[in-house]
Every structure is written in C-alpha cells, then in structure tokens.
Copies of this chain bind each other. A is one copy, B any other.
Amino acid sequence: MSPMTERVASAPFSGNQLDRLSARREDRAWIELQRQSASARFVVLADGKICVEGTAPERRLSTFPPGHLPPSAEGTPVVFLGCSELTSWFAISAAAGIDPELAGGFEELRPLALELPPEETGIAATARHLFEWHRRHRFCSQCGHETQATSAGWKRLCPSCAAEHFPRTDPAVIMLPVHGDRCLLGRGRSWPEGRMSALAGFMEPGESIEQACAREMREEAGVIATSVRYAGSQPWPFPSSLMIGLIAEVDDTPAQADLEEIAEVRWFTRDEAGRLLDGTHETVQGPTPLGIAHALLELWVNQAW
C-alpha cells in the first residue's frame, strides 16, 4: 500500500493506509459483525469538521468504540472505511447538538493536516470526501427521487429508477510552469495581496491530463506549454478533488494574468523560489505545505525533477 515512486511529489491527505476491503462492502452480515466488534473504532464528523483530541504536536483523531457513539445525523450512513491490522474503522456524521464532553473537539480538516499523523489525515480525508458526497447527493440525478445509501456507505441507490450512484471525485490539474531558471506563480483573484501559488483548474470532458494542463496555463497566464510532466497527485477533500500535479516547460511567450481567475502572475528564479519555500521571501508568501503546490515547487527548486 505504500509503493515507492520516483521523482513524484507526496503531500498531505494521501496517508490512508487502511485495507479498504471493497469486495466486502456488499456483505451486510460481515459489515455488521465488524461494526459490533469490541475492536471497531469510529471517527466522527459534523458539518465537514472532524473530531480530534490532544494538543499539537500530539493530536490524534478521536475514535469511539461501538457502544459509545453520538447519534448520527438523520439520513447519513455508517461508512465502513476499512481495516488496519487489529481494527475495523468506521465513520459517522454526528447529529447537531452533540454532547461536547463526549465529542472532544470538532475542527476543520485543512489546518489539522499538518498536526495529525499522516495516516490519520488520510483516514479523515476519505471520510470527509464521502460525507460531503452524501450531503450533496441525497437525490437521484436521473429521476429526482430520494436515494438510499448502501454498500456500507460507498453507493447510493435509487428505489424509483434503480440507478446506482458512486462517490464523485473531480480531477483537477495543478501545475508549475517553468522556463529556464524561472518558474511562474499566480495569485487567485480572491487571495490577499502577496500570496502566490501554482496555477490550477478542473479537468474537462474530452481532455487528457496533458491537454488540461496546457489549456489552464494558456487560459490563466497566457503561457504556451512545450512539455508537460506528471509530478504526483493528492486527494483534496474540499469537497471532492483529486489534484494532479505537473511541471510544465513553457515557451517565451510573455505571461499575462487573465484577470478573471488570476489577478497577477510573476516569475521567480530558483533562488527566490527557495526563499518562498522557507518563508524568507521579502514580499511574497508562497504555497503552504498543505497542498501539492508546495511539493511541486520543492521538486523544482531542488532540481529533483
């Protein structure tokens, strides 16, 4: 479950090491047995936040045994996440008004990512993605009827038209355009002055990853790809993206922000980019270590690419 990869970026949220045992999801009796087992552990979400305990640097997911669970929010399933060596892992979405004594504290997952152990961040990411999907997909997109969660939380079934619905994952490309000794970063229109990161956008029907990367760079920054190379991927459960990281050589067409999605673009030398990574750049704040943009920049700065 932890394949080594060469020249590929790793980033938070991809640390889930559970054996998902997907073939068991349809086996209700087996799932029920796991669920009632004394070694079962439940993680608890509410409104996209997750229940944690302890203080940094020793934060952990709060896990609950089967007999001590807060009530689930109406219509939300118990999700079977998979098994570690000794434990079956489940997730529930708690009803509003959960007892704070019982609950530990609920926190946003994004900032937590650098405080939890990577495997727990990955488990939390999987659970968050699934519950956000359930929340946004209560009804059948084919006929409008209310659907029911099944398959231990991994499928929704329409009792009216029999359509099966599976969790949605939206592939997005995120890329570092480079030319010679310089790389290009951009500032999103809603970002504060001085904050810059990699360019990114959702993939569209009828595109390869390389085409989507070339299109986004051209649309957002007016730069033209001459080569595109895959550099790693990251699950991004806000709410349901898969970030596909790329480093792309571009030609010497002048870069220009589109002013629609990107307010400003700027070239950085390798030295300057190094100062973005260690937070010592004079005027610009670079990508945070939460996202794969940071790992892309690191690969390029270290010429590990």
Interface residues of A (CB under 8 A from B): 1-6, 8, 10, 13-14, 16, 20, 22-23, 122-123, 125-127, 129-130, 133, 136-146, 154, 163, 165-171, 202-211, 213-215, 218-219, 225-230, 232-235, 237, 240, 242, 244, 248, 258, 260
Contacts and interface: CB of A to CB of B under 8 A. Distances in A.
Nearest to A163: B136
A75 to B, nearest CB: 13
A210 B14 CA distance: 10
Nearest to A165: B141
B130 A205 contact: yes
Contacts of A130: 205
Contacts of A2: 214
Contact of A4 (B146, B207, B211, B226): B226
A131 to B, nearest CB: 10
Nearest to A7: B229
B3 A210 contact: yes
Given A3-B248, A5-B228, A225-B3, A169 B237 contact: no
B3 A227 contact: yes
Given A5-B229, A23-B258, A205 B237 contact: yes
A133 B1 CA distance: 33
A28 B143 CA distance: 29
A15 to B, nearest CB: 9
A214 B136 contact: no
Contact of A242 (B3, B4, B144, B203): B203
Contacts of A225: 3
A204 B20 contact: yes
B203 A169 contact: yes
B171 A242 contact: yes
